[in-house]
A = this chain, B = another copy of it.
Amino acid sequence: MLFSQSCIYGIRAALLVAIRSQKDSDSFTPIRMIAEELNVSFYFLTKILQTLTKARIMESYKGPNGGVRMAMASEDIYLIDIIEAFDEDKVFDSCLLGLPGCRDDDPCPLHKEWKKSKGQLQKVFQRTSLAKLTKEADRLMFRL
């Protein structure tokens, strides 16, 4: 798997919250509700969303009517932001064979192809905002 489980849940939760924020971007969504909709552990999801709030991607609010919401317009949140909040440089600095100290001019046999594919994916995540995905989700009814 390319992403950690935490990262995956984080992306899915962010997408869900972003979709909900289209109708009402001010109110908070309880984590318990998100956990039920995504079918993941409430306890675990709580931990995970804390990293997103610490990264200033989401905001949280305690007490009744509390929960989490996006900290900014979903137009300004890109997938790469969420991924980096969890897996930092672990994904796109990663390499296939895990050799230390590689450079482009001192590569393993697979470096060229890996760099290409990795770069493509990275660009996708850098260019894809939550807003774009929520718009598509409206039309296509994506799975989450």
Shortest beta-carbon distance from A107 to chain B in Å = 7
A8 touches B108 (CB 8 A): no
**Which residues 46-73 of A have a CB within 8 angstroms of B?**
none
Q: Cβ of A102 < 8 Å from any Cβ of B?
A: yes
CB-defined interface of A8-29 with B at 8 Å, one 1/0 digit per residue? 1001100100000000000000
B121 touches A113 (CB 8 A): yes
CB-defined interface of A112-131 with B at 8 Å, one 1/0 digit per residue? 01101100110010000000
Shortest beta-carbon distance from A4 to chain B in Å = 10
Interface size class of A (residues with CB under 8 A): 20 to 34
A142 touches B109 (CB 8 A): yes
Shortest beta-carbon distance from A122 to chain B in Å = 10
Q: With the chains together, A82 CA to B103 CA distance in Å?
A: 25
Can you list 12 A-B pairs, Cβ within 8 angstroms, ordered by A?
A1-B98, A2-B96, A5-B98, A8-B96, A8-B97, A15-B109, A102-B143, A106-B143, A108-B142, A114-B121, A116-B120, A117-B124
